[in-house]
Amino acid sequence: MTAPPTGHEAAAAAVSPAVTGPGTSTARRPGRRAATLIPCAVVALYVLVALIGPLLVPYDPVHTPLEDRLLSPGSTTADGSTAWLGTDGLGRDVLGQIVHGARTSVLIGAATVGLSCLVGVTLGAIAGYARGWVDAVLARVFDVLLAFPAILLAIVIAGAFDRSLLLVVVALSATGWIAFARVTRGVALSLRERPWVDAARVMGVPGREILRRHVLPFTVGPVVAMATLEFALVVLAEAGLSFLGIGLPADTPSWGQTIASGKEYLETAWWISTLPGVALSLLIISVGILGDQLTARHRHGRRSA
């Protein structure tokens, strides 16, 4: 009895992609699903470029062939190679700067998010699980730091010391962990009331084990969603610091520095500032959408659970 419907469904499935017009929601769905994958694909492309791009596109920040300065995209340089995205005011290849800058941005983003996540999740989980005065103190600390403008604090820290990659990571993590702490605290507060946590407490399972086994695994969803959004903010903040000249050392390629170096030539050589800016914007937008998708999926998952 099952054979005819199965055959019919198979036929319908085979026909539906070709059918267009109203009432063919099944035919449109694959396209929509592919569209939701675009941000993920763009982010993956950036990570790929960050990982292997510098091996394919050489770039030397102190090699400044002045005869090649301010070449427009697609020009041929003095040594016969093609500058696909043009050159900057010192004759350095813009494509090389974007590719190497991608590595810097992804590295700083990942390191800062990793550090913030570690500190924030630990403190947030402790605050949410312990409650009492521990929570009262930590929650006030989170609130006070949240009230402080993040970029200002980063500028103060980054400006007070010698420029280095580690310093940028620390300066950006100084406020980045608070978002993680607040999210984790909220989840831990609600998880603490679950009967399985009570059951573990009655059993005499030590608090550290309860946190590790019965609370932390359930914070992964919101923390991952938070991490993506935080990654976008960090990349943007790093570019901002480097633009201001208090971020990375001058010999580290960075989108912020490239954009800053092109600001005197905006009228004559638009490509120096514009192209790294486009690269930056595309990454931030894609990561932002990806983060929203993850947040929505997490919320949906919670509702159905």
By CB under 8 A, residue 147 contacts other proteins: no
Judged by CB under 8 A, the residue of 217, 263, 278, 296 near other proteins is: 217
By CB under 8 A, residue 70 contacts other proteins: no
Judged by CB under 8 A, the residue of 11, 44, 199, 296 near other proteins is: 199
Q: What is the Cα Rg of the chain in Å?
A: 25
Based on CB atoms, which residue is closest to other proteins, 29 or 131? 131
The two tokens of residue 203 are: 């059993």
By CB under 8 A, residue 203 contacts other proteins: yes
The two tokens of residue 186 are: 């909220």
- Min CB(291)–other proteins separation in Å: 24
**Which residue is listed with tokens 């960090």?**
234
260's CB contacts (< 8 A; 6+ apart) are 242, 243, 244, 245
* Number of alpha carbons in the 13 Å side-chain half-sphere of residue 66: 0
By CB under 8 A, residue 302 contacts other proteins: no
By CB under 8 A, residue 194 contacts other proteins: yes
Q: Which stretch binds other proteins (CB under 8 A): 67-75, 114-122, 162-170, 212-220?
A: 212-220
By CB under 8 A, residue 92 contacts other proteins: no
The two tokens of residue 207 are: 């608090």
By CB under 8 A, residue 200 contacts other proteins: yes
User: What residue type is 70 in one-letter code?
Assistant: L
- Min CB(227)–other proteins separation in Å: 20
Pairwise CA distance, residues 149 & 230, whole Å: 15
The two tokens of residue 133 are: 């005065």
Strands (E) in 30-182, as ranges, are 75-76, 82-83
Task: For the segment 151-190, give every residue that binds other proteins (CB under 8 A).
Answer: none
Based on CB atoms, which residue is closest to other proteins, 74 or 217? 217
By CB under 8 A, residue 55 contacts other proteins: no
Pairwise CA distance, residues 284 & 39, whole Å: 10
Residues recorded for the chain: 305
Judged by CB under 8 A, the residue of 73, 77, 165, 201 near other proteins is: 201
Residue pair 269/70 in contact by the 8 Å Cβ criterion: yes
Judged by CB under 8 A, the residue of 3, 18, 195, 303 near other proteins is: 195
Q: Which residues would be at the binding site for other proteins (CB under 8 A)?
A: 194-196, 198-207, 209, 213-214, 217-218, 305
